[in-house]
C-alpha cells in the first residue's frame, strides 16, 4: 500500500512540478507562438498603428512627411466628396441591412419549417453553391445583366414589350446606386442564410414542442419562439453586413469606378483614389481612421442595443 503511494506518478498536478519544468513548458508555449506574432506585428499591428499615426501627417509615402495635426480631419469635414460618398454609404448600409434581415432570414426560416428533411438538405446545398463562384465572376455577370445593348435586363424588358423601361443602368445618374444595391438579387445564397439556419437548428426541441402543445400557430411560433431564439444570429449578420459595407469597395470600383460622375462614390473608394491617384497617403489614412472609429461605434451599438432576450448560447 505504502509502496504504491510513494511511487512518483507523472499524473501529478502541474503545481507540484519543479519550477524549472514549468518554465521550460512556458518556453515551449511562447516559442510556438512566435510565427503568429511575428507575422501579425509586421503585417497587421504595424500597418494599423501606422495608419492612425500618419493620419496626422501630410505624407506622400516616401520623402515628404509633415506634421499637420488634425488638419486632415478638418479638411474631411469640409470635403463635399466625403459627404457625398458618406451619404451613399448610409443608403447602401441601410438597404443591405434591410435586405439581410428579410430575404436570407425568410429563406432560412422556410428551409427550417420544411417537414421533408431531405428537401431541406437539398435547398441548403443549393444555396451554398453560388458562394463558390468567384466573387469577381458574379460582379461581371451583373455587369452583363446591366449592360445597355445586349444585357440580360434590357433584353428581358424587350421580350416583355417594355422597351420604354430600358436604361443604361450603371450609367444613369439617378439609378446607378440602386443598381449597385440590387446586385445579388434575390440575396438568398450566402453566408447570411447559413448563419440563420444554424441558429434555427440550435433551438432546443422542447421549446418548440411546448409551443405546439400550447396551441401556437406556425406564425405565432415564428414570431414568439423562433425569431427571439435566433436574435444572436441576427445580431451577427447585421454587424457583418455593416462592417462589409463600410470597408468593401470592390463592387463600385469594378462596376462604376464611383460614377457616373461621383454618383456611386463610397468612402473606401474615396480613400483608395486619394492614395493611389493623388498620392495623398496622410489624407487616405485619415479617412481610414474615421471609418475605423465609425465601425467601432456601430459594433458597440449593435452589441449594446440589439440584446438577445435569451442569452443562452454561452459563447
Partner 1 sequence: MESRRHTLRHDLVIHVVLGFLAIVTFFPFVFLLISSFRPTVDFMHTFWGLPTAPEWANYRDAWTVISPYMLNSLIVSGVSMIGVLAIASVSAFVFARFRFPGREVLFMAILALLMIPSILTLIPAFLLVKDLNLINTYWALILPYIAGGQVFAIFILRSFIASLPEELFEASRLDGASTFQMFRHIALPLSKPMLITVAIMNVLATWNDYIWPLVTIPSQKLWTISLGIVSFGSQYGGLERWGPMFAGYVIASVPLIVLFTLTMRYFIAGLTSGAIKA
90, 133, 301, 310: which one binds partner 1 (CB under 8 A): 133
CA dihedral 98→102→105→109, nearest 10 degrees, is 160
3, 5, 125, 160: which one binds partner 1 (CB under 8 A): 125
| Part in contact with partner 1 (CB under 8 A); list of ranges 85-93, 94-102, 108-116, 172-180 | 108-116
User: By CB under 8 A, is residue 20 in contact with partner 1?
Assistant: no
Cβ of 295: how many Cβ atoms within 10 Å? 16
1, 3, 29, 277: which one binds partner 1 (CB under 8 A): 29
Phi then psi for residue 185, to 5 deg, are: -50, 135
| Site residues (CB under 8 A) for partner 1, limited to 61-80 | 61
17, 21, 46, 83: which one binds partner 1 (CB under 8 A): 46
User: By CB under 8 A, is residue 301 in contact with partner 1?
Assistant: no
| Part in contact with partner 1 (CB under 8 A); list of ranges 91-99, 167-175, 185-193, 203-211 | 185-193
User: By CB under 8 A, is residue 281 in contact with partner 1?
Assistant: yes
> How many Å apart are CA 174 and CA 74, to the nearest integer?
30
User: By CB under 8 A, is residue 114 in contact with partner 1?
Assistant: yes
Contacts with partner 1, 250-279, as mask; x by CB under 8 A: x--xx-------------x--xx--xx---
Min separation Cβ 92 and partner 1, Å: 14
18, 134, 161, 215: which one binds partner 1 (CB under 8 A): 134
Given 3-state DSSP classes, what are the helix, strand and coil percentages for the chain, each rounded to the nearest 5?
70, 0, 30
Task: Characterize 166-190 residue by residue with b for buried, 16 or more Cβ atoms within 10 angstroms of its Cβ, and e for exposed.
Answer: bbbbbebeebbbebbebbbeebbbb
User: By CB under 8 A, is residue 313 in contact with partner 1?
Assistant: yes
| Part in contact with partner 1 (CB under 8 A); list of ranges 86-94, 168-176, 192-200, 257-265 | 192-200
73, 168, 178, 292: which one binds partner 1 (CB under 8 A): 292
Q: Which positions ≥6 away from 233 have C-beta within 8 Å?
A: 195, 196, 198, 199
Min separation Cβ 210 and partner 1, Å: 20
Residue 222 Cα distances to 61, 112, 117, 204, angstroms: 55, 11, 19, 14
Closest to 93 (Cα-Cα) out of 199, 171, 194, 177:
177
Q: Which positions ≥6 away from 54 have C-beta within 8 Å?
A: 65, 281, 282, 285
Amino acid at each position: 500500500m505504502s509502496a504504491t503511494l510513494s511511487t512518483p506518478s507523472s499524473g501529478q498536478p502541474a503545481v507540484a512540478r519543479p519550477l524549472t519544468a514549468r518554465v521550460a513548458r512556458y518556453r515551449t508555449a511562447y516559442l510556438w507562438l512566435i510565427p503568429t506574432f511575428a507575422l501579425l506585428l509586421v503585417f497587421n499591428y504595424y500597418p494599423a498603428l501606422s495608419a492612425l499615426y500618419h493620419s496626422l501627417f501630410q505624407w506622400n509615402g516616401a520623402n515628404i512627411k509633415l506634421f499637420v495635426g488634425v488638419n486632415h480631419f478638418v479638411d474631411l469635414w469640409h470635403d463635399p466628396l466625403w459627404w457625398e460618398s458618406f451619404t451613399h454609404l448610409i443608403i447602401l448600409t441601410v438597404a443591405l441591412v434591410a435586405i439581410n434581415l428579410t430575404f436570407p432570414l425568410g429563406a432560412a426560416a422556410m428551409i427550417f419549417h420544411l417537414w421533408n428533411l431531405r428537401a431541406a438538405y437539398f435547398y441548403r446545398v443549393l444555396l451554398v453553391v453560388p458562394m463558390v463562384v468567384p466573387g469577381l465572376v458574379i460582379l461581371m455577370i451583373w455587369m452583363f445583366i446591366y449592360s445597355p445593348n445586349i444585357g440580360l435586363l434590357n433584353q428581358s424588358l424587350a421580350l416583355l414589350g417594355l422597351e420604354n423601361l430600358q436604361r443604361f443602368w450603371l450609367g444613369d445618374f439617378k439609378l446607378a446606386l440602386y443598381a449597385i444595391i440590387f446586385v445579388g438579387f434575390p440575396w438568398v445564397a450566402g453566408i447570411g442564410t447559413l448563419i440563420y439556419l444554424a441558429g434555427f437548428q440550435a433551438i432546443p426541441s422542447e421549446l418548440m414542442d411546448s409551443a405546439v402543445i400550447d396551441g401556437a400557430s406556425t406564425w405565432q411560433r415564428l414570431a414568439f419562439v423562433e425569431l427571439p431564439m435566433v436574435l444572436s444570429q441576427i445580431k451577427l449578420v447585421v454587424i457583418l453586413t455593416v462592417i462589409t459595407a463600410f470597408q468593401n469597395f470592390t463592387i463600385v470600383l469594378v462596376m462604376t469606378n464611383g460614377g457616373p460622375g461621383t454618383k456611386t462614390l463610397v468612402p473606401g473608394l474615396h480613400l483608395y483614389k486619394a492614395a493611389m491617384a493623388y498620392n495623398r497617403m496622410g489624407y487616405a489614412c485619415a479617412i481610414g481612421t474615421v471609418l475605423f472609429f465609425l465601425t467601432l461605434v456601430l459594433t458597440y451599438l449593435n452589441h449594446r442595443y440589439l440584446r438577445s432576450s435569451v442569452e443562452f448560447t454561452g459563447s
